[in-house]
Structure 1
Amino acid sequence: MRNQNLFALLAAGFLMLGLLCVCSVGAFALFNGGNVPLAAPFESSSLEPSAALPASTPGAAFSTQPIDLPEDALAILRAEEEVLNRVYESVAPSVVNISVSGNTNSLLGDLGQGSGFVWDKEGHIVTNNHVVEGAETILVTFSDTTQLSAEVVGTDPDSDLAVIHVETNPEFLHPVGIGDSAGLRVGQRVIAIGNPFGFDRTLTIGVVSAVGRTVQGRANFSLPNLVQTDAAINPGNSGGPLLDIQGRVIGVNTLIYSQTPRANSGVGFAVPVDKVKSVVPHLISQGIYETPYLGIGALPFPLTPELAQTLALDNVTTGVLIEEAVPGGPAAHAGIRGGSQEVTVPGIERILITGGDVVVGIDGQPVRRFDDVVNYLDTRSVGDTITLTVIRGGEQMDIPVTLGPRPASVP
């Protein structure tokens, strides 16, 4: 019952915390009057010695008086602290530090570090593919400083996930709880635990900033359906868990977007745990995971009515213009058509390839941008048949396509 009350109070706590912060800033602005810079240095001549203690007593003039806050607000904030501490105490033993050597893809050169978390009692540990890719040796450090050698069980560059394995007593291992990512909402509180810059088991907090993000992955392919968060993620956090407030994994921290190399900018991304739950069992049992592949190249930005008119696309107001159906790929095999005419449009830097089909739907769902296609394919499997709704020469038609395995590279 106590746990339920704690979690019930948490949401109100975050709201109260924000209000208190706003009120504090406002009160300071009023007190400051706007006349003294916030970073103004102290002038020792203006400071009076404490009246309660002799001025000659070194270090005696300090105060233990806390800020006066309403008791109900304090109770909510203490509940938040209690929740964060309980999550940390529960999950930290599941989070490991991964040190690798011979990893030429590491930001640290031949010696790299990352994070991971215990998946099961059999010794499987989940991390990022880029943490262990190319590694000659892998050393796993647990929360009690125990160090064990690990071997790679399986990797999937397309999802940037990997599974490694350690040999140890099952009683020593503490698998972390696994949650769901399908129901994640923007604004939901999240917690990251990892080893940024080698500082082991560091906790940071934030919110879900967005869901369904797509960023550039390997070989011109994309990493789809990522969870964006402002929880601080830095080099060394890769492979660590992103958690909900009940300590369940909702994602695997994988990358940050920053214009300052190796520095957090508040834009981090995690592989959603529903994808992890699909990939990891395959990596454990087979060592690989086959990513479904459609085999098209498309305009990277959405069609607008104005652009469609400029390109003389009849009966088109939005959708995805297919510039290429990769020869021998599933789409080309099904009869999907790519473009053949190069067109230059004022205001658009790249040359457009026109004359191909325009995708406006996939399995009955509307398609407005290429990310819609990529994110939907991420929910399907190799061998599944999907239906693309396309417009060709002003006519709408449905074309079934059976998905194949994604190749290592495309021509």
Structure 2
Amino acid sequence: MERIVRTSKAIAPLTAALAVAVAGGGCGGSGSGGNAAAKKTPGGASGRAIVLVQGVYKDKTTEVTGVVFEARQGLVLTANHAMENAPNINVKLSNGTLTHARQVARAQCHDMAVLRLFPKPPGLVALPLARSAGASVGEPVTTLTYVTTSTSGATQLTRIPGTVSALGVREAFPPLPATGPFIAHQSRLLPGAAGSPVLDAQGRMIGLNTLVGHPRSPALPGVEYALTSDYIARRLGQLRPGVGGALGGWGAEHNACHAALHKLIGVGHVHVPNSAGGP
């Protein structure tokens, strides 16, 4: 496997970029030709922003979904538990392009991580965060996630329908403490859907699925939990450029949940054994 080259280049201040990233109202991109590609991608233009994220460890590879939320800097939201301390991170775009990423911020209590792609692929498309405050119980929603096919073992982008069952709820994923606010939705998701976006009927991102497949309390069959986009936008607004390209502002979660998260890791996320010879 190709060695991932680390970079120490600092990320530019996020204030202006995130103002665009949380504006909502469709996809934004850094290139042209979006209409033709969107017709070939599940989920249309929104699907072009959905990526497959792999955490490559010495003895295993984890696979979850992610979403490009800011195209200019190549920033991706995904599930932290599958990337925690991963030596290498691979990212596959919906068009098959393979690139790499480094984790630049993580909220361990909420299972949320921000990745920066490198090299940043040309023509990258972003799916901005929309306002989740307008969501309502009973509203139809869609999850865009990568699913492994039973025949070939390949992953493909898939649309999974669901329905909002509750709003603003808190949920515990032991040994992590209860967190939120979540959109609870009835959807048939597999563990690889962690880090995938929840879209409303207009295709706007109103939430990010978290810890799919992990034990939770209380356990309600068929119910999954997505962090609200309003909460995510507020947390992204806390981030500031840090040392070595990292982003600071979420350190309190490391202190509160680091030990609990490491007890939880290894339960529930997709595990793909490496071939002989290691990564």
TM-score past 0.5 threshold: yes
Tell me which of the two structures has the higher relative contact order, counting C-alpha pairs closer than 8 angstroms and 6 or more residues apart: 2
- Which residue is 1:140 aligned to? 91
- Offset of residue 130 of structure 1: 1.1
Q: 1:152-191 maps to which residues of 2 (within 5 A)? A: 152-168=103-119, 171-191=122-142
Alpha-carbon offset, residue 282 of structure 1: 3.4
Is residue 216–residue 223 contact of structure 1 (8 Å, CA) maintained in 2? Answer: yes
Of Structure 1 and Structure 2, which has the larger fraction of its residues in strand? 2
Confirm whether residue 282 of structure 1 aligns to residue 238 of structure 2: yes
Please, what TM-score do these two structures have when normalized by structure 2?
A: 0.65
Instruction: Give the corresponding residue for 1:216.
Output: 172
How does 1:4-403 map onto structure 2 within 5 Å?
88-102=43-57, 110-121=60-71, 122-168=73-119, 171-197=122-148, 199-217=155-173, 220-256=176-212, 265-283=221-239, 285-286=241-242, 287-290=247-250
Question: How many Å separate the matches in 1 of 2:141 and 2:194?
Answer: 16
Amino acid at match of 1:187: G
CA RMSD of aligned residues (A): 3.1
CA offsets, 1:345-387, max 9 Å, x none? xxxxxxxxxxxxxxxxxxxxxxxxxxxxxxxxxxxxxxxxxxx
Q: Matched residues in 2 for 1:100 and 1:225: separation?
A: 26
User: Residues 285 and 248 (structure 1 numbering): CA distance in 2 closer, same or farther, change over 3 Å?
Assistant: farther
Which 10-residue stretch deviates more, 140-149 or 178-187? 178-187
Alpha-carbon distance in structure 2 between the residues aligned to 1:231 and 1:169: 32
Contact 2:108/2:258, CA 8 A, preserved across alignment: no
Cα pair 1:257 1:265 within 8 Å, conserved? no
Q: Distance in 2 between matches of 1:170 and 1:230?
A: 34
Structure 2: state its 5+ residue gaps: 1-39, 149-153, 260-279
- For 2:47, give the aligned amino acid: A
State the AA in 2 paired with 1:267: V
- Tell me how far apart the structure 2 counterparts of residues 131 and 271 of structure 1 sit (CA, whole Å): 17
User: Percent same amino acid among aligned pairs?
Assistant: 25
Q: Which residue of 2 aligns with 1:396?
A: none
Evaluate the alpha carbon distance shift between residue 181 and residue 87 of structure 1 in structure 2; reply closer, same or farther with a 3 A threshold.
farther
Change (3 A) 1:175 1:240: same
Q: Residues 116 and 86 of structure 1: is their aligned pair in 2 closer, same or farther, counting only changes over 3 Å? A: closer
User: TM-score of the superposition, structure 1-length normalised?
Assistant: 0.45
The one-letter amino acid paired with 1:118 is V
Q: Is the 8 A contact 1:191 1:205 kept in 2?
A: yes
Q: Deviation per CA, 1:18-50, whole angstroms, max 9, x where unpaired?
A: xxxxxxxxxxxxxxxxxxxxxxxxxxxxxxxxx
Contact 1:158 1:217 in 2 (8 A): no
Structure 1 or 2, whichever has the larger Rg, is 1
Task: Return the offset for 1:169.
Answer: 5.2
Amino acid at match of 1:136: P
Alpha-carbon shift at residue 134 of structure 1 (Å): 2.1
Aligned AA (1:100): G
Q: How many residues align?
A: 207
Structure 1 stretches of 4+ with a deviation exceeding 4 A read 168-171, 217-220, 290-293
What is the CA–CA distance in structure 2 between the aligned matches of 1:219 and 1:266, rounded to whole Å?
A: 21
For 1:284 and 1:248, the matched residues in 2 are separated by 26
Q: Which amino acid aligns with 2:61?
A: L
Contact 2:106–2:250, Cα closer than 8 Å, also in 1: no
Higher helix share: 1
Question: Structure 1 stretches of 5 or more lacking a match?
Answer: 1-84, 104-108, 294-404
Evaluate the alpha carbon distance shift between residue 143 and residue 223 of structure 1 in structure 2; reply closer, same or farther with a 3 A threshold: same
Deviation of 1:131 after TM superposition, in Å, equals 2.2
